[in-house]
Amino acid sequence: MDAQNDVNRGEFTWKISNFSKQDARRVYSEVFRVSGCRWRILVCPKGNRNITNHLSLYVDVPDSSTLPNGWSRKAKFTLSVIDQINDVRSIRMGLQCKESDWGFTSFIPLTELHDRTGGYLVNDTLVIKAEVCLLAVTPTKPVRPADFDSYFTGLKELINADETHGASVGSSSRYRDGALTAEVPSLEEVEKAKQSLKECLSDLFKLNMKERLSEALSTLSVARTGVSSEQQIAIKTFRANFNDFTSDFLTFEQDNAEFELQNLQKDQLFSAMKKCHGTHLLYKQLMEDLTKEDEELKRKMAEGKSKRDKLLSDWEILWDESEEVKSGYEDKQKEVAEAEEKKRIAEERMSRSTTAWSNLKAQFC
């Protein structure tokens, strides 16, 4: 990029090596900047659309589809194909535009470009120069479909992570409940204490069960039969910390109820979040459809302009052919008149000769 005194002006020179071996339909230069705006050159080595006998050359805005709706830049630009032998013969064309890309579908005939006697391709290298003058930029608030997509992609990851996390929480909860159940000692030999303990366990977190639980444990702690040594240890351990343990159970019930409430509210928000993500996917599809419609409209407009340019070009050729034919016709009219005069004179001479011949024949035959 060449430095300019005017910050709104800039130029960029692009050298394309092995140009005749380029197989891509479109070839882009690296991005260059003018007044903070990004540009690049687009060249179609074998023409563009239905124009296949000319080099097509454009100035392009990179990633124009990601720019916010309503954003535009107005600029004047000049594109040049440099004659590397004689710069005077360099081809230079300019336009003023307000589009994401603009240029010339028929910049230079391919036969002229590839002519070995010319200087456009030297050592199979093509040199293109772009000069840009930025006139105005119309921004909008910085909200882009790409931003939406990035945000909702993160939302989708959150949804997936939460679904996975939710499954693991359920498993751990079941395991914890099993562990609590496993802590209950077997009281097969003490039916009354067993029945009382069962009733307490069924309503473990109710305050009125605390005394019945204490009585059942007291009975089992003094039992001489039907209780193993391990069960005795468990009972004594529990009784030694009876108030703390029952308090823990009650606290757990309260905390569990709070957890269930919070989890329910989380599930409701999660459902709303999934609904938002589904709506986002719909909006994204609609945006993609609109983008395709815009591209199709631009393509048709470009095709219409290309056809118009070709028609005007063919019309000019027809004009030149008509002038040439008309001039030839007028010349031929003069030649026909001269030939007709010669024919008339010849006919008069032929008539005299015929009369003399007839008289001579009449005398001797």
Tell me the pLDDT of the chain (365 aa) as tens digits.
Answer: 343 446 688 999 999 999 999 989 999 999 999 888 889 999 999 998 778 899 999 998 887 666 656 567 788 889 999 999 999 999 999 876 555 457 888 999 999 999 988 899 999 999 999 999 988 766 554 444 555 555 556 555 555 655 454 433 333 333 233 333 333 344 454 567 656 656 665 555 454 566 777 777 777 777 777 777 787 787 778 777 777 766 776 677 677 778 888 888 888 888 888 899 889 899 999 999 999 999 999 999 999 999 999 999 899 899 988 988 898 899 999 999 999 999 999 888 888 888 888 888 888 87
Residue 114 and residue 149 in one domain: no
Residue 132 and residue 153 in one domain: no
Show the tokens assigned to 302: 């470009």
Residue 111 and residue 189 in one domain: no
Domain with residue 69: its CATH number is 2.60.210.10
Residue 199 and residue 124 in one domain: no
pLDDT reported for residue 96: 66
Residue 116 and residue 149 in one domain: no
Residue 91 and residue 149 in one domain: no
289, 316, 347 — which closes off a domain?
289
pLDDT reported for residue 223: 74
Could you please report the per-residue DSSP string of 166-180?
HHHHHHHHHHHHHHH
**Best CA proximity match to 57, nearest among 18, 2, 16, 21:** 16
Rounded CA-CA distance 166/172 in Å is 10
Rounded CA-CA distance 339/342 in Å is 5
The total of structural domains in the chain comes to 2
289, 322, 345 — which closes off a domain?
289
Tell me whether residue 195 is in a domain: yes
Q: Where are the beta strands (DSSP E) in 53-144?
A: 54-60, 72-81, 91-97, 101-109, 121-122, 125-138
Residue 30 and residue 46 in one domain: yes
Residue written as token pair 């032998």:
85
∠ at Cα 86 (80, 88), nearest 5°?
60
Strand partners, 144: none
Indicate the SS3 state at residue 354.
helix
Tell me whether residue 64 is in a domain: yes
262, 289, 316 — which closes off a domain?
289
pLDDT reported for residue 191: 65
106 contacts 62 by C-beta, under 8 angstroms: no
Could you please report the per-residue DSSP string of 107-129?
EEEHHHHT-TTSSSEETTEEEEE
29 contacts 14 by C-beta, under 8 angstroms: yes
Residue 164 and residue 272 in one domain: yes
Residue 234 and residue 262 in one domain: yes
Residue 150 and residue 195 in one domain: yes
**Best CA proximity match to 61, nearest among 35, 33, 81, 80:** 33
Strand partners, 109: 54
pLDDT reported for residue 206: 52
Residue written as token pair 């097509």:
56
Question: Please, what's the b/e burial string for 218-240 (b: 16 or more CB within 10 A of its CB; e: otherwise)?
Answer: ebbeebeeebeeebeebbeebee
Residue 264 and residue 224 in one domain: yes
Rounded CA-CA distance 1/36 in Å is 13
Residue 64 and residue 115 in one domain: yes
Show the tokens assigned to 220: 């089992």
Tell me whether residue 188 is in a domain: yes
**Global model pTM greater than 0.85:** no
Rounded CA-CA distance 86/93 in Å is 17
pLDDT reported for residue 213: 75
Tell me whether residue 300 is in a domain: no
> Cα 305 to the chain's mean position, in Å?
26
Tell me whether residue 283 is in a domain: yes
Tell me whether residue 128 is in a domain: yes
Domain region containing 261: 145-289
**Best CA proximity match to 95, nearest among 68, 61, 57, 121:** 57
Tell me whether residue 103 is in a domain: yes
Tell me whether residue 244 is in a domain: yes
**Best CA proximity match to 148, nearest among 238, 39, 260, 283:** 283
